[in-house]
């Protein structure tokens, strides 16, 4: 958008001059950090002689600190080439402050720009006309690269405004909300709203629960909160890091740019299928199977599988000892195993105990004459005995134990009294003829991992402490330095902060998996129960409560929908309220005058109706068009829209209701909404999700318009014969 008046252009020019000064300073900072890094490296080359003395340690350590600091600083500075300065505050009394993505000081150490997360910047987000907090005018600078292209002002205190203070622009928020969407979520650092800022700056300890309807900014706010915590609590958080968990790789891809844009590169982003190290799963199971795999009942099934018989294990131990042939049959061996694992021991860690108990059981058969110690010494080292133990108590992997459950009889044994026969059938079948693991298998693998444990590490030999390079060495200087600066960086078993998005969909088994990664963490949990696809809300809540323990909880509810036009959200609100009248609904702030459209189309006309809608929408919106379809229709729809691939590049995306959670598009075509609602017992919630993905235009195409009949107000949908 070009500036419309000469006053606006003059204001832009003035801001550009300031921004240029900041970039010049940034360039000088990059130059000096580069020089420090270089100097540090050179010093390191000189210092490394192969013979390390204490003084060398000292200078090597200093060098490492220097280089490390410079490298980090460069990474932060390098990321801040775009829109570095985005805000300006004119305070009463004429003081002016600029707010940006990072703090920048001039050569005399005076602040040029305040980091948006610093306490002094909070007023940028919190001041209102009702409570200006000393701010006369708040200005948002819109930039392209390093060029200021617009300014948007809010006059907060008209009485205190000097005569020459200009107020220009239509409001930064509206400009941001109407902007076309690309494939990635953008940061909202320039337009964070007051209710959102309170959540972002909430104290870290305990659990922060963020709820709110679709499009209320839960995700984007949670990500800004992560950046805020990394800034304000870096020392604490560096001990364990931040884990950000979302529903799918597509979703993680969608949000992955936000934290780097805010200058943070240190969070770990994982989809639910990637939370366990070494496992990458993208495929989801059909809904009924996912419900069984996610259920808390799987704990018992897996516990039995991990502690029960191993398929193909030896059924008898025979050994000549103590002057006679001794044997233990299958029942006796099972009794030994049960005895060893009785008190919750992890199987892979209990081998020594298993050997002890086994030898004890054999010794009882000798019937006197040989002491236990003598018997032990005789039996333990025998090849036959060692070979038996290797087979009978081999180290098991989670994937191995899970694979046994594809055998219906084995599964039925483990699931006796827990799952019904039909459930056993469905579950066993889900593991037959598939490659790799599903997203719903991952928490099961993690559960098995915690049941099996790692085999104990052999005691380290002296050699393992030796070094052939200096990097791995902790010197007395390190310890001295650490002590002197009073380092309180805590060491974490797991992450220091865990952020869970779309938490309403987590199954009990997924909560257990996350709980293991945040035993000592503070948490931010984001969700909207009305969008939940998990059938047993109480069961999931109880698993969540166990994962979080008795940490303090702080809850926030976001009530403004920033994504959808009011016309689109009204339709979605009507759909969900017709089924679930108590669902709290946010308020959409933006009107476009464009009603959603429903196009009736018979089976045969459906492909044509869908492609026509996509073509029309590509013409009227600048950004993306999402085509959301029932699970069974993905393949055919991909064929229909394939021709748009060349023409529209990445602009057209086909997805399902469940996979569209958390995502958004400029325009959406919903194919067969009634079928989406019928896909699962909580299908109306999925339809609610689907109808709230579009920022500007919504068209539905279906053979059935029955889903509209229940609406209070059918005029919300423009009639169309298709
Ligand atoms: N203060 C803001 N300024 C500009 N854009 C905003 C603001 N708050 C939210 N948005 C935008 O609104 C859209 C919805 O935000 P987000 O995806 O975080 O919502 P959500 O509550 O997680 O939605 P859902 O539950 O439907 O997935 C995003 O495009 C986000 O950038």
Go through 673-704 and write b for each residue having 16 or more CB atoms within 10 A of its CB, e for each that does not.
bbbbbbbbebbbbbbbbbbbbbbbbbbbbbbe
515 HSE (CA, 13 A, CB side): 22
How far apart CA 388 and CA 317 sit, in angstroms, is 7
Tens digits of residue pLDDT in 65-81 = 666 666 666 666 666 56
Q: Tell whether the model's pLDDT for residue 463 goes beyond 50.
A: no
| Domain positions in the chain | 6-170, 194-280+474-560, 287-450, 563-716
For residue 719, what pLDDT is reported? Answer: 59
Residues with CB under 6 A from ligand 1: 173, 176-177, 185, 188, 191-193, 196, 212, 214-220, 528, 562-563, 662, 664, 692
R_g over Cα of the chain:
31
Mean pLDDT for 682-695 is 93
For residue 102, what pLDDT is reported? Answer: 86
For residue 209, what pLDDT is reported? Answer: 96
Q: Tell whether the model's pLDDT for residue 375 goes beyond 60.
A: yes
How far apart CA 298 and CA 448 sit, in angstroms, is 11
CATH code for the domain defined by 563-716: 3.40.50.300
How far apart CA 111 and CA 291 sit, in angstroms, is 55
How far apart CA 597 and CA 630 sit, in angstroms, is 19
Residues 6+ apart with CB under 8 A from 63: 40, 41, 43, 44, 47
Top-confidence residue, 506 or 75: 506
275 touches 245 (CB < 8 A): yes
Report phi then psi at 110, rounded to 5: -85, 140
pTM, full prediction: 0.84
Confidence label for 716 from pLDDT (cuts 50, 70 and 90): low
Mean pLDDT for 575-579 is 90
Report CA(564)–ligand 1 centroid distance (Å). 9
> Which of 196, 215, 227, 256 has most ligand 1 atoms within 8 Å of CB, for mutation?
215
Mean pLDDT for 30-46 is 68
User: What is the atom index within ligand 1 of the atom nearest the CA of 661?
Assistant: 27
For residue 482, what pLDDT is reported? Answer: 40
Nearest Cα residue to 689 out of 587, 564, 559: 564
Q: Tell whether the model's pLDDT for residue 650 goes beyond 70.
A: yes
Fold agreement (194-280+474-560, 563-716)? yes
610 touches 637 (CB < 8 A): yes
Least confident of 60-74, 281-295, 316-330, 428-442: 60-74
Give the chain's mean pLDDT.
86
Report CA(499)–ligand 1 centroid distance (Å). 16
What is the architecture, at CATH level 2, of domain 194-280+474-560? Answer: 3-Layer(aba) Sandwich (3.40)
For residue 160, what pLDDT is reported? Answer: 85
Structure-token match 């070494």, residue found = 278
Q: Tell whether the model's pLDDT for residue 666 goes beyond 90.
A: yes
**Residues in a beta bridge with 245:** 270, 500
How far apart CA 23 and CA 422 sit, in angstroms, is 66
Q: Helix, strand or coil for residue 682?
A: coil
The ipTM, to two decimals, is 0.99
Closest residue by CA, ligand 1 atom 25: 214
Q: Tell whether the model's pLDDT for residue 429 goes beyond 50.
A: yes
> Which of 216, 220, 659 has most ligand 1 atoms within 8 Å of CB, for mutation?
220
Tens digits of residue pLDDT in 554-575 = 999 999 999 999 999 999 999 9
């Amino acid at each position: 958008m070009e500036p419309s008046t000469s006053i606006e252009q003059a204001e832009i020019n003035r801001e550009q001059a300031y921004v240029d000064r900041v970039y010049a300073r940034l360039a000088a900072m990059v130059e000096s950090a580069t020089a420090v890094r270089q100097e540090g490296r050179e010093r390191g080359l000189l210092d490394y002689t192969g013979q390390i003395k204490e003084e060398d340690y000292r200078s090597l350590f200093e060098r490492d600190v220097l280089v490390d600091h410079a490298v980090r600083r460069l990474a932060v500075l390098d990321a801040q080439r775009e829109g570095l300065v985005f805000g300006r505050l004119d305070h009463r009394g004429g003081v002016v402050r600029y707010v940006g993505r990072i703090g920048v000081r001039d050569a005399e150490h005076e602040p040029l720009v305040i980091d948006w997360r610093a306490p002094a910047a909070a007023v940028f987000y919190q001041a209102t006309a009702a409570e200006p907090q000393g701010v006369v005018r708040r200005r948002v600078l819109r930039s392209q690269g390093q060029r200021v292209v617009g300014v948007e002002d809010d006059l907060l205190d008209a009485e205190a405004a000097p005569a020459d203070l200009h107020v220009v622009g239509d409001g930064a928020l509206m400009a941001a909300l109407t902007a076309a969407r690309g494939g990635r979520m953008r940061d909202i650092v320039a337009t964070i709203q007051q209710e959102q800022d309170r959540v972002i700056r909430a104290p870290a300890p305990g659990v922060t629960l963020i709820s709110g309807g679709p499009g209320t900014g839960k995700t984007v706010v949670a990500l800004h909160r992560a950046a805020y915590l990394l800034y304000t609590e870096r020392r604490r958080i560096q001990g364990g890091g931040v884990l950000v968990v979302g529903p799918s790789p597509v979703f993680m891809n969608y949000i992955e740019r936000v934290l780097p844009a805010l200058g943070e590169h240190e969070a770990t982003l994982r989809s639910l299928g990637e939370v366990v190290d070494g496992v990458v799963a993208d495929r989801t199971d059909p809904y009924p199977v996912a419900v069984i795999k996610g259920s808390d009942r799987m704990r018992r099934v897996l516990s039995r599988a991990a502690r029960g018989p191993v398929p193909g294990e030896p059924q008898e131990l025979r050994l000549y000892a103590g002057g006679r042939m001794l044997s233990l049959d299958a029942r006796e061996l099972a009794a030994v195993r049960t005895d060893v694992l009785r008190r919750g021991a992890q199987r892979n860690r209990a081998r020594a105990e298993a050997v002890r108990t086994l030898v004890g059981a054999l010794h009882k058969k000798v019937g006197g004459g040989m002491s236990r110690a003598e018997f032990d010494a005789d039996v333990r080292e025998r090849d036959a005995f060692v070979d038996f133990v290797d087979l009978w108590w081999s180290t098991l992997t989670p994937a191995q134990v899970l694979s046994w459950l594809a055998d219906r009889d084995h599964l039925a044994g483990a699931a006796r009294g827990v799952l019904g026969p039909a459930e056993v059938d469905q579950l066993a079948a889900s593991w037959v003829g598939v490659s790799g693991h599903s997203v719903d298998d991952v928490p099961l693998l993690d559960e098995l991992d915690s049941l099996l444990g790692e085999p104990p590490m052999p005691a380290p030999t002296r050699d393992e402490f030796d070094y052939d390079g200096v990097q791995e060495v902790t010197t007395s200087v390190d310890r001295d330095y650490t002590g002197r600066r009073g380092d309180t960086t805590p060491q974490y078993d797991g992450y220091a902060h865990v952020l869970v998005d779309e938490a309403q969909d987590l199954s009990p088994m997924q909560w257990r998996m996350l709980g293991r990664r945040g035993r000592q963490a503070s948490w931010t949990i984001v969700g909207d129960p009305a969008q939940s696809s998990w059938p047993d809300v109480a069961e999931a809540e109880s698993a969540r409560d166990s994962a979080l323990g008795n940490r303090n909880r702080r809850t926030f509810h976001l009530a403004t929908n920033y994504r959808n036009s009011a016309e689109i959200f009204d339709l979605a609100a009507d759909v969900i309220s017709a089924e679930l009248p108590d669902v709290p609904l946010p308020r959409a702030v933006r009107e476009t005058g464009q009603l959603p459209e429903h196009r009736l189309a018979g089976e045969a006309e459906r492909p044509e109706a869908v492609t026509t809608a996509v073509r029309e929408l590509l013409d009227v919106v600048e950004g993306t068009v999402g085509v959301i379809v029932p699970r069974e229709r993905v393949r055919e729809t991909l064929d229909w829209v394939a021709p748009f691939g060349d023409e529209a590049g990445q602009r057209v995306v086909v997805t399902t209701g469940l996979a569209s959670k958390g995502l958004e598009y400029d325009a959406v075509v919903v194919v067969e909404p009634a079928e989406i609602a019928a896909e699962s017992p909580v299908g109306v919630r999925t339809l609610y999700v689907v109808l709230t993905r579009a920022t500007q235009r919504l068209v539905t195409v279906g053979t059935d318009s029955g889903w509209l009949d229940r609406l209070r107000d059918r005029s919300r949908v423009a009639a169309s014969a298709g």
